Structure 1
Amino acid sequence: MAVWIQAQQLQGDALHQMQSLYGQHFPIEVRHYLSQWIEGQLWDVIDLENPQEEFKAKRLLDSLIQELQNKAEHQVGEDGFLLKIKLGHYASQLKSTYDRCPLELVRCIKHILYTEQRLVREATNVSMMHACVNTSRSIQAFEELRLMTQDTENELRKLQHNQEYFIIQYQESLRIQAQLTSLSTLPPADRQLREPALLSKRATVEAWLTREANTLQKYRLDLAEKHQKTLQLLRKQQTIILDDELIQWKRRQQLAGNGGPPEGGLDILQSWCEKLAETIWQNRQQIRRAEHLRQQLPIPGPIEELLNELNSTITDIISALVTSTFIIEKQPPQVLKTQTKFAATVRLLVGGKLNVHMNPPQVKATIISEQQAKALLKNENTRNDSSGEILNNNCVMEYHQTTGTLSAHFRNMSLKRIKRSDRRGAESVTEEKFTILFESQFSVGGNELVFQVKTLSLPVVVIVHGSQDNNATATVLWDNAFAEPGRVPFLVPDKVLWPQLCDAINMKYKAEVQSNRGLSEENLVFLAQKAFSISSNNPDDYRNMTMTWSQFNRVKLARRNFTFWQWFDGVMELTKKHLKPHWNDGAILGFVNKQQAQDMLMSKPNGTFLLRFSDSEIGGITIAWVAENPNKRMVWNLMPYTTKDFSIRSLADRISDLNHLLFLYPDRPKDEVFSKYYTPPLCEQPSCLRWLSFVQHFSHQACLDCRELSVIPSPCARFLSDSMLDTDGDFDLDDTMDVARHVEELLRRPVESQWGGPQS
């Protein structure tokens, strides 16, 4: 169903949010009448940060205007006449607004479509019930704050009115006193005649002033108490938003670095933060006006201390809001290679409400070490400290009117050099964590308040060569998965429960392979056996076991020259690059050891095979199959295929080449599973056929690629010497691999370039 059709069914606050997306910058009528066209365009393919994409945006703008004009021309009748005029006006308006900045139109429409999709998704997804409850509570809290703020505004005006009248009466008392003083210049008879009335009037006014002074003092105290209650609710609501919702968003962002679901947009959070900012600022202005009234008419009492306390509290609240809402919307890469371009985006969630954007701030990015990050959070003097040099590390924040966001896009940063610290014990360079510090200075409310703001990126591991990527990724994975809230940078547990690690690597695997098929319980048992060198097949035996960081990626596996993570990462890379469709189809069991494969296959007909990841080689997959040997049935295993092999010939084609592989375990005909992935024949010309005949003959004499060996007795099989097989059914390919690989490489070359004429 079209998003616009669903969006029109929104209700309550969701409908209000949807309606607020539209205005002069993009009329809702345009969205309505061009809904199908708008949703059919490829807005997402345009990179808003690349100025060279402007011509694509201009083309979309021109098409949009043309569509509007076409729609207008087709309107008929009385109602159609009015709509025709309106649509024509919108076409002119959009051209005028975006003709010089078409990328802003794309930004606007992308924001609209994203928000509509989110609102529709939230309205229809039962799993969002918790978010809806929180939203409802926030709406109630903001409504309560609005009413409280309106009440204190009314009370403040009442206080101001009463104080102004009090001052008038006070002036009257001074006038009476002046008249009494002037009586001394009059004759005694006149003085006695006029003095009693003035004294009586003065007494009346002074009595009123005394009563009214007490009343004003009470009004001031009552107002201060109401402000205290408002600030208490403000603090509570701010804590919910900043310490719960925003922290949860940051945690989701961290898990997204491990392949978790996207952290989600910031639009709702920004709307809440903006409402907080507006309410806080209104209350701050009220408190300042109350202080001004007190200074205008000082009355002895506790109000001065109360107002000072309120002013200090409201300043703390707004400081916490501004500094906490300076966030990293798009994190820099967590594995950062020197001399390589990278990007990041920072954003201020209250930038449009406190006039920060009126004087656009500049943001600076610096790379600092873990120790420097700790010192920074302790407020120790770390000024100008850094652990390297980042090029293009300054950026001015920009305010986008259509989306209401204030952000800085660092597009072309590059880490020129890194300064490493002394490492602890067995720690390698790929275990050393850094962070990108983003800092700026914000002037709030027309320079009334100035805040120094800082925010740290997720930890990054710096590498200088691609070969370090594997181990650096392990450090990042462990940190993202097991970092605890409010930690000291960048401490993580040294050991975790096995089920916790399973969740982390399963999330990573699904993301890397881009598959909904994750790791099954059987897969995880296999991994536990590999990690702990235990043979138990019972998942419960591993639930309370812990795995240390050293076991994960520091200590090598038993009888291997690689760690648990290095082996697992090799499997992910191989699957991602070459095996993804087969993994998604369920054709690859993968996480099966040699003995399990033998037990599974021995009960199946000859020619049954399965695919399992190699135990002995990083990033390898092998084929195990059952066949009849002249003496007995046995399971044979091919030497593992790696990325190098699949760059020559695909897995499906290799399986097709092996004629004696008949059924994929347990009983699926191999062509039924793999035929859709076979490479179509390139030609059927005589020269091609002669070449294939030659290769078949050559391969036959070389006993094929030993992977392609027939295991059913055949003339070729008889050529194999006993030295080429071990007792477990593994091939020793040292003698034949060079020939076999050469044949494979020849198979991939153009025939005509290899054989120019007829072959004898």
Structure 2
Amino acid sequence: MAQWKHMSQMIQCLPHDTINDLYPPNGFPIEVRHFLADWIEIQRWDDFLLEKVEQESQAQTLLDQTISMLQSIALQNDNVVDKMKLTKISGNMTKFQQQPLHFAVMVRDILAKERVLLSMSTQMQSPPQFQQPQNRESSFNNMQDVDYLVLKVLEVQEIRKSMHQLQEELNWERQNYEGLQGPIQQNGMDPTQSEVLKLQTHIQQLEYNVKAMATKRFQLLNECVDCLDQCQTRLISRLKAWRWDQHKATIGQPFDDNLDLLQTWCEQLLGVNGKLRQELMLIGEPIPELKERLGTLLQVLIQSSLVVDKQPPQVIKTQSKFSTTVRYLLGEKVAPGKPVVLKAQIINELQARNQSNVPGDNVGELINNTAVLEHNTSSKSTCATFRNMSIKKIKRADRKGSESVTEEKFALLFSTEITITGCDTPYRIQMISLPVVVIVHGSQDNNALATIIWDCAFSEPDRVPFVVPERVPWKMMYTTLNSKFTDEVRTKHNLDQYNQHFLAQKIFDKPDFADDFSNILVSWAQFNKEVLPGRPFTFWQWFEGVMELTKKYLSTYWSEGLIFGFIGKQHLHLILKDRPNGTFLLRFSDSEIGGITIAYVSATENGGQKIQNIQPFTKRDLEIRCLGDRIRDINHITYLYPEFPKNDVFKRFYTEPQASSSRGYIPVSLLTKVGTDTNSDTSPAPTPLAESPHSAIDFSVCPDDMDLDIDTILETLHQ
């Protein structure tokens, strides 16, 4: 009864005509809704459909129960007026005995209209802000607008039915009037007789009512088309927002890839468009403006419902397989019969700007570039999956100046011709993927990824493909680096303010700059065009190397805050200068790609202190021996900055020593040895010795009766 409780309060504010339309006095008067509220709301009216004749017996049962309960309430009611009303209503409802399904569907529609009115009432109390939706909740709110539109369309249909009944009555009365006119003329009877006058008045009233309803019908149709236009505009906006979120996911921003709500929204708007086109046809006289608007809205909806659900890789190597999936949100409405085949072709930036005139495959050759649109009944999605696509060859545009091949952007264009049920003509639809960079060798991967990162991070919505700014504020760059780093490493531990400042010092080559970098512009050239001073690599190549090392070997250490990370030498000396000997921290190498080093406080010969930096450990080093074991091996370091005993912090990362071999050999272990440095602060930093170059092999003394297994040692060294 919860629904009726709210509805009964709302009814007090509704016009009398609206109440009569909602609860037809000759069908399901409001008294039935009131007295049987509890029982009505626990029945499953939503299941009923007119075309399901097998439901007729179930509908008949509900009708019989309704009449019986009304009669019982009438007998028990002490109010004479209510008793008479309920008795009359129960008698009138017997007319549904021949069509019980019509009764059940009528109740279903009444309850649905109530829900829509209640949802609209909630919206009116808290007026919606029609901004670009950003999440599924806002999509749901917009779908409530569609529910309101559906209610308006139902109103148009009800007016049309009422007009039809009135017109039939008018035709009948006109026939009666003509029948009376004959005897009057023949017999000379007085035409002003009360019966004739009464009939004339009734005919005039009917004609007035028909014209008034026709005017209201036309007004409502205009309102419906306006409302449909607004709802569809919001849908298109939300689809663009979904694609934008998908684009931003490349740099680690959150993205909900669920398309189910948007699909439902598309299907509802298509249904409304179809009903309105039917109503226009039933008017009998052309309204070209509304017909044209509905046709345009239909075309835009059909063409906008093609979505690249699973994007292709944004860096594609020629001669390599890749996959992508395209989804059609109106898939269930596709006309049966001829299969829908999607074709993919690769286009360059110029063609992407002029999709209406894209020629054949003239910039690249795609293998396995067709797929059939197939419907999945369990997921209710309709998709075309390109599973083994490959770029056989690519034709590049003329490059400008120092532009690299890894800076050139392409895209995949998906297209097909589709026919929707209820539409006479097929529609040509197409959609392009996110930009991709095509490479021919794995060595180009890093630079190609830089192009994609810059594009995803700094492009604007609704841009001209694939325009990006040449410079952006450092705060935007830092946000991108942090988002990408945390996403790749799969951590919630962000880069801190010290990391941010050091990264800015590095990319701008300003190691002594202590002020805020936020609004200083950083260029594409500084990001991945120009090598860093004194280094053979760019900023992005260096940063990406650190990110990959952390992702594969150091993610847990980073997530638990054990790695200080990005820190400059000045800051390093500042925070370590007053710490006890043996205090250390872990920082990413400043001088090579993909390295982590240990900086620690050690004593000088004259009793002072100096900061030592151990030669960085790279991917190869950490594959041989993990960071935790290497920290355990080095006796020079004892406390993780600021003052945590290293064995307490890193103990769980230590690996257990291997048990003795079952073959009787003496076990061999790899240990990290650090060379001692007795020179001044200006001498080279100590480096780990042996084992290429960080580890040494610890040989125990061999018993006289046992030979050293050299093969085992060599095998260990080469692992």
- Answering whether residue 293 of structure 2 is matched by residue 313 of structure 1, we say yes
- Answering whether residue 549 of structure 2 is matched by residue 574 of structure 1, we say yes
- Once the two structures are superposed, the pairs formed by residues 619-630 of structure 1 within 5 Å of their partners are 619-630=594-605
* Correspondence for 2:157: 153
* Correspondence for 1:753: 711
Distance 1:755 1:283 in 2: 82
AA paired with 1:436? L
**In the TM superposition, what whole-angstrom CA distance separates every residue of 1:286-326 from its partner, at most 9, and x where no partner exists?**
11222xx23xxxxxxxxx3xx11111111111211121121
- Once the two structures are superposed, the pairs formed by residues 150-299 of structure 1 within 5 Å of their partners are 150-161=154-165, 219-243=213-237, 245-290=238-283, 293-294=284-285
* Correspondence for 1:343: 323
CA RMSD of aligned residues (A): 3.9
- Answering whether residue 468 of structure 2 is matched by residue 495 of structure 1, we say no
Distance 1:565 1:746 in 2: 43
* Correspondence for 1:708: 674
Residues 497, 543 of structure 1: 8 Å contact kept: yes
C-alpha change, 1:168 and 1:685, in structure 2 (3 Å) is closer
Distance 1:496 1:755 in 2: 54
* Correspondence for 2:105: none
AA paired with 1:141? D
**In the TM superposition, what whole-angstrom CA distance separates every residue of 1:252-279 from its partner, at most 9, and x where no partner exists?**
1111121222324112222222222221
Residues 690, 696 of structure 2: 8 Å contact kept: no
Deviation at 1:385, TM superposition (A): 4.4
* Correspondence for 1:461: 437
Residues 587, 598 of structure 2: 8 Å contact kept: yes
Deviation at 1:602, TM superposition (A): 2.4
Distance 1:374 1:655 in 2: 55
SS, match of residue 227 in structure 2: helix
* Correspondence for 2:494: 518
Question: Where does the alignment leave 5 or more consecutive residues of structure 1 unmatched?
Answer: 1-15, 22-128, 180-191, 295-303, 697-704, 712-716
Percent sequence identity is 37
* Correspondence for 1:67: none
Deviation at 1:281, TM superposition (A): 1.5
Greater Cα offset, 216-225 or 477-486: 216-225
Distance 1:173 1:398 in 2: 62
AA paired with 1:476? I
C-alpha change, 1:751 and 1:340, in structure 2 (3 Å) is farther
Distance 1:601 1:263 in 2: 44
SS, match of residue 490 in structure 1: coil
- Once the two structures are superposed, the pairs formed by residues 671-682 of structure 1 within 5 Å of their partners are 671-682=647-658
- Once the two structures are superposed, the pairs formed by residues 580-591 of structure 1 within 5 Å of their partners are 580-591=555-566
Greater Cα offset, 575-584 or 595-604: 595-604
**In the TM superposition, what whole-angstrom CA distance separates every residue of 1:339-367 from its partner, at most 9, and x where no partner exists?**
22211111122222x34466542111111
Question: Where does the alignment leave 5 or more consecutive residues of structure 2 unmatched?
Answer: 1-41, 48-132, 701-707, 715-719
Residues 337, 465 of structure 1: 8 Å contact kept: yes
Distance 1:167 1:386 in 2: 67
Distance 1:752 1:240 in 2: 73
AA paired with 1:655? I
- Answering whether residue 531 of structure 2 is matched by residue 556 of structure 1, we say yes
Distance 1:434 1:683 in 2: 56
**In the TM superposition, what whole-angstrom CA distance separates every residue of 1:57-116 from its partner, at most 9, and x where no partner exists?**
xxxxxxxxxxxxxxxxxxxxxxxxxxxxxxxxxxxxxxxxxxxxxxxxxxxxxxxxxxxx
Distance 1:174 1:745 in 2: 121
Distance 1:334 1:454 in 2: 19
**In the TM superposition, what whole-angstrom CA distance separates every residue of 1:525-566 from its partner, at most 9, and x where no partner exists?**
11111111224675x621221111111111222222221111
Residues 726, 732 of structure 1: 8 Å contact kept: no
AA paired with 2:564? L
Greater Cα offset, 278-287 or 501-510: 278-287
SS, match of residue 342 in structure 2: strand
**In the TM superposition, what whole-angstrom CA distance separates every residue of 1:101-141 from its partner, at most 9, and x where no partner exists?**
xxxxxxxxxxxxxxxxxxxxxxxxxxxx9858635643542
Q: How many residues align?
A: 575
Distance 2:245 2:149 in 1: 29
* Correspondence for 1:608: 583
Deviation at 1:751, TM superposition (A): 5.3
State the TM-score, normalized to the length of structure 2: 0.72
Greater Cα offset, 435-444 or 265-274: 265-274
2:347 to 368, 385, 398: 368
- Answering whether residue 321 of structure 2 is matched by residue 334 of structure 1, we say no
AA paired with 2:271? E
* Correspondence for 1:448: 424
C-alpha change, 1:355 and 1:689, in structure 2 (3 Å) is closer
SS, match of residue 302 in structure 2: helix
**In the TM superposition, what whole-angstrom CA distance separates every residue of 1:157-177 from its partner, at most 9, and x where no partner exists?**
334445567778999999999
C-alpha change, 1:164 and 1:366, in structure 2 (3 Å) is farther
AA paired with 1:753? D
C-alpha change, 1:174 and 1:329, in structure 2 (3 Å) is farther
Distance 1:561 1:615 in 2: 12
C-alpha change, 1:203 and 1:464, in structure 2 (3 Å) is farther
Residues 668, 698 of structure 2: 8 Å contact kept: no
AA paired with 1:515? T
Distance 1:454 1:692 in 2: 63
Residues 658, 709 of structure 1: 8 Å contact kept: no
C-alpha change, 1:403 and 1:688, in structure 2 (3 Å) is same
* Correspondence for 1:120: none
- Answering whether residue 398 of structure 2 is matched by residue 404 of structure 1, we say no
* Correspondence for 1:422: 398
* Correspondence for 1:592: 567
- Answering whether residue 142 of structure 2 is matched by residue 138 of structure 1, we say yes
SS, match of residue 426 in structure 2: strand
**In the TM superposition, what whole-angstrom CA distance separates every residue of 1:684-715 from its partner, at most 9, and x where no partner exists?**
4699986659x89xxxxxxxx7x62245xxxx
C-alpha change, 1:553 and 1:692, in structure 2 (3 Å) is same
Distance 2:136 2:245 in 1: 18
* Correspondence for 1:509: 485
Residues 330, 344 of structure 1: 8 Å contact kept: yes
Distance 1:487 1:746 in 2: 65
Deviation at 1:575, TM superposition (A): 0.8
Distance 2:404 2:459 in 1: 20
Distance 1:217 1:536 in 2: 84
* Correspondence for 2:703: none
C-alpha change, 1:751 and 1:236, in structure 2 (3 Å) is farther
* Correspondence for 1:658: 634
SS, match of residue 542 in structure 1: coil
